[in-house]
Structure formats: structure tokens, C-alpha cells
């Protein structure tokens, strides 16, 4: 028993030391290459895999080398670091209804609700439009659910790639889609109604809400995906 244990440990130990030696060798080679490069007058190293060019700017000996990563030039998508969770693939978006945004998204600051006469957050954007104005899917997706929200009225929920969900509320009851339908960007799902009980003073409008992986986000930002 104990012999086996020792043997097992011994073998593991050997592998460990081999790994250590390999690491040390890798560090040595990297270091060697680094010094060779910094000795050169104009250094330009191309990374073959990542499509990024590494450029040494004013390479004087023993000075730090500035590294500039250029943007990928080909079909790769770049997403600024400041954006919310990066969805993979390009999801195209379009405005769900033509009209003026009368109340914007406001989850941090309370805004006064004329109908309920109190201050509350607003998880979507309200776009005013005549009753009967066409409402379309803001992006390709699948109709996830349709329900009567006691506060926001007739609501259609569409799931999209990249973890996005869009919700269209205050619609007229007569809808053009059913649960499970695949929809394409710009396809009509219904028309503007006045079914949002908590927003009746706004008149006919669309209450448009967007979630990214279950978290509310500003629909205006979603529509910027273009
Ligand atoms: Zn609203």
C-alpha cells in the first residue's frame, strides 16, 4: 500500500519537474527573442494567428518597447470594452415603431409617472405613435411569449441570439404573431394600442423593453447595434 503510494507520488513528482524544466526553457527562449528584437533598429513582428501587428516605436536599445495592437482588419467584430456583456455574432436591430421617444429608459433615477402620480423607475422606452401604427420585430428571433400584463397591457416577448430579449407592450390585442413563430427584423408583430394601464396618460404608444441575459438594458443602446 504505502509503496504504491510512494511510487505514485514519485511519478507525479517526476512529471512535475519535467514541466518545470519545460517552463524554464520557454521563459529562456522568450527572453532571448525579446533581447534579439530590442537590439534591432526597426522591429516589426507579425502575430500570425491573431491578425494583430506588434510594432516597436522608436526602438532604442534597452528602452521599453511600445506595443501597438492594431484592430483586426478582416471580418472579426470588435466590441468596445465599455459595452455590456459581449454578444457573439452581429445582431442587426431596427426601431420597433416609427415615432418619438417620449419617455426614456431610467432604472437608476426615478421619473414621475403621470398616470400613477408617483415616482418610479422605467424599464423601457416609450415611443409615441398613433393607435394602429405598425410595430415590428427589432431583430431576428423567435416569439417567446405573449401575455396580458396587468400594468403594461398586451405584451409580446421575442428572444434573440446573443442572449437578448425584446418586449413590446401596450400593443393592440390583435397580433400578427403567435408563440413559437420565427420572426425576422422588421417583420410586423402587431400595432400600437393603448393597453398599458400604468401609462394611459401618454396616449397610444409602444413600451419597448430590452433585456440582455436577463438584465434590463437601455433599449436605445440595443438599437445602436444597428
Ligand atoms: Zn413605458
> How confident is the model over 69-113, as pLDDT tens digits?
444 444 445 545 555 555 456 899 999 999 999 999 999 889 889
pTM for the whole structure: 0.61
Contact assessment for residue 186 and residue 94, using Cβ atoms and an 8 Å cutoff: yes
* pLDDT the model gives residue 14: 57
Query: Model confidence over 108-140: pLDDT tens digits?
Result: 889 889 999 999 999 999 999 999 999 999 999
Q: How far is the CA of 32 from the centre of ligand 1 (A)?
A: 62
Q: How far is the CA of 172 from the centre of ligand 1 (A)?
A: 15
226 pLDDT band, cuts 50/70/90, is: confident
Q: Locate 141 and state its grid cell.
A: 428571433
Task: Give the SS3 label for residue 171.
Answer: strand
C-alpha triplet 146, 164, 224: angle, nearest 5°:
115
* pLDDT the model gives residue 106: 93
In this predicted structure, the answer to whether residue 142 has a pLDDT above a threshold of 50 is yes
What is the H or E stretch that residue 31 is in? helix 2-39
In this predicted structure, the answer to whether residue 52 has a pLDDT above a threshold of 70 is no
Q: Average of pLDDT values for 181-204?
A: 95
Q: How far is the CA of 220 from the centre of ligand 1 (A)?
A: 13
Q: Identify the residue with better confidence: 44 or 226.
A: 226
Q: Locate 154 and state its grid cell.
A: 398586451
Q: How far is the CA of 205 from the centre of ligand 1 (A)?
A: 8
Each residue of 5-28: b (16+ CB within 10 Å) or e?
Answer: eeeeeeeeeeeeeeeeeeeeeeee
* pLDDT the model gives residue 134: 98
* pLDDT the model gives residue 185: 98
Distance CA 2, CA 192 (A): 78
Q: How far is the CA of 164 from the centre of ligand 1 (A)?
A: 19
Give CA separation, 14 vs 11, 34, 42, 191, in Å. 5, 30, 43, 71
* pLDDT the model gives residue 111: 85
Q: Average of pLDDT values for 13-42?
A: 47
Contact assessment for residue 131 and residue 191, using Cβ atoms and an 8 Å cutoff: yes
Q: How far is the CA of 199 from the centre of ligand 1 (A)?
A: 6
In the chain, the domains with their CATH numbers are: 100-223 (2.70.70.10)
The strand pairing partners of 166, in sequence order, are: 158, 210
Q: How far is the CA of 86 from the centre of ligand 1 (A)?
A: 26
Q: How far is the CA of 21 from the centre of ligand 1 (A)?
A: 63
Q: How far is the CA of 148 from the centre of ligand 1 (A)?
A: 15
Q: How far is the CA of 122 from the centre of ligand 1 (A)?
A: 6
Amino acid at each position: 500500500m504505502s509503496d504504491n503510494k510512494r511510487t505514485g507520488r514519485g511519478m507525479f513528482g517526476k512529471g512535475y519537474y519535467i514541466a518545470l524544466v519545460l517552463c524554464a526553457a520557454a521563459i529562456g527562449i522568450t527572453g532571448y527573442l525579446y533581447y534579439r528584437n530590442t537590439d534591432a533598429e526597426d522591429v516589426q513582428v507579425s502575430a500570425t494567428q491573431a491578425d494583430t501587428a506588434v510594432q516597436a516605436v522608436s526602438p532604442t536599445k534597452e528602452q521599453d518597447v511600445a506595443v501597438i495592437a492594431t484592430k483586426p482588419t478582416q471580418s472579426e467584430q470588435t466590441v468596445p470594452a465599455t459595452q455590456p456583456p459581449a454578444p457573439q455574432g452581429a445582431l442587426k436591430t431596427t426601431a420597433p415603431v416609427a415615432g418619438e421617444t417620449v419617455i426614456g429608459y431610467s432604472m437608476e433615477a426615478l421619473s414621475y409617472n403621470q398616470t400613477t402620480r408617483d415616482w418610479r423607475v422605467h424599464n423601457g422606452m416609450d415611443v409615441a405613435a398613433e393607435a394602429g401604427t405598425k410595430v415590428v420585430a427589432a431583430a431576428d428571433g423567435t416569439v417567446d411569449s405573449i401575455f396580458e400584463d396587468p400594468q403594461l397591457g398586451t405584451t409580446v416577448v421575442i428572444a434573440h441570439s446573443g442572449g437578448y430579449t425584446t418586449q413590446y407592450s401596450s400593443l393592440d390585442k390583435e397580433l400578427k404573431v403567435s408563440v413559437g413563430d420565427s420572426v425576422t427584423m422588421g417583420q410586423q408583430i402587431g400595432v400600437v394600442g393603448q393597453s398599458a394601464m400604468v401609462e394611459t396618460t401618454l396616449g397610444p404608444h409602444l413600451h419597448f423593453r430590452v433585456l440582455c441575459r436577463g438584465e434590463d438594458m437601455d433599449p436605445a443602446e440595443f438599437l445602436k447595434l444597428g
